[in-house]
Homo-oligomer: A and B are copies of this chain.
Amino acid sequence: MSQVPGKAAGDTRSRILDAGERLFMEHGFDGTSMRMITSQAGVNLAAVNYHFGTKELLIQEVFRRRLTHLNQSRLAALDQLEAEAAGVPIKPSRIVDAFFGTALRMAADVEGGGHTFMCLLGRTYTEPNEFVRQFLAEEYAECVERFLAALYRALPEVDRNEILWRFHFMMGAMSYAIAGTDALQLVTGKFDDENPSRLAPRLMSFLLGGLRAPLAEFGALK
């Protein structure tokens, strides 16, 4: 019998993960208490420590649950690109789509929780909790390494350091576009449509424009 109305779907473990994912996204790690999580999940307070050990291990599991799959999808897309290319240079736009487009498609999944998770991921990039940073670094290592290598091969005439910077900028534009609640939304009101599927083509166009921009002349902006 259900403990609370609407508790039926899913076991205790995954209900905690779902509630944590949403609350961490809305209030951050420090701003989300165990009691907030367990009451939203409709489970006993002690259940988190029983199933996950500590709050930090719960946070880690919230990320691992989806991040492993995301990066595997990215690598699978890159594998396919490289297999189809068979030695011929790959267009940078295809590589960018394999990395950022895959994330955007995950973010477009509102009902399945992908959107919530991508919001959480975006805000976590600027929330330098040491514990989470270490974990993200390990989860991302292989994926980022392979995509950077692919971009280096696709743009052999461009300085590798510049490519690194632009990957960094693209990362920012994307995570912010998904997670950011910036002054724009506050001033101008909501955008025309909340549906994240409208975001993807616009963002991809912007990212490619930035990637292809002429290199900055040397010297500091003044």
Interface set of A (CB-CB < 8 Å, partner B): 26, 28-31, 97, 101, 104-105, 108, 122-123, 125-129, 133, 136-137, 140-141, 144-145, 148, 161-162, 164-177, 179-188, 191-192, 197-198, 200-221
| A122–B209 CA distance with the chains assembled, in angstroms | 23
Which residues in B have their C-beta under 8 angstroms from that of A204?
A: 216, 221
Nearest chain B CB to A126's CB is how many angstroms away?
Answer: 4
Picked from B28, B181, B197, B217, the residue with its CB within 8 Å of the CB of A220 is B197
List 26 interface pairs A-B (beta carbons < 8 Å), by A numbering.
Answer: A29-B31, A30-B31, A97-B221, A101-B221, A122-B126, A123-B127, A126-B126, A133-B181, A136-B186, A141-B187, A148-B188, A164-B184, A165-B202, A169-B202, A169-B206, A170-B173, A171-B180, A172-B174, A172-B180, A173-B210, A175-B180, A200-B221, A204-B221, A205-B213, A206-B210, A210-B213
| A26–B198 CA distance with the chains assembled, in angstroms | 34
Which residues in B have their C-beta under 8 angstroms from that of A176?
A: 125-126, 168-169, 171-173, 175-176
Contact between B183 and A137, CB atoms less than 8 A apart: yes
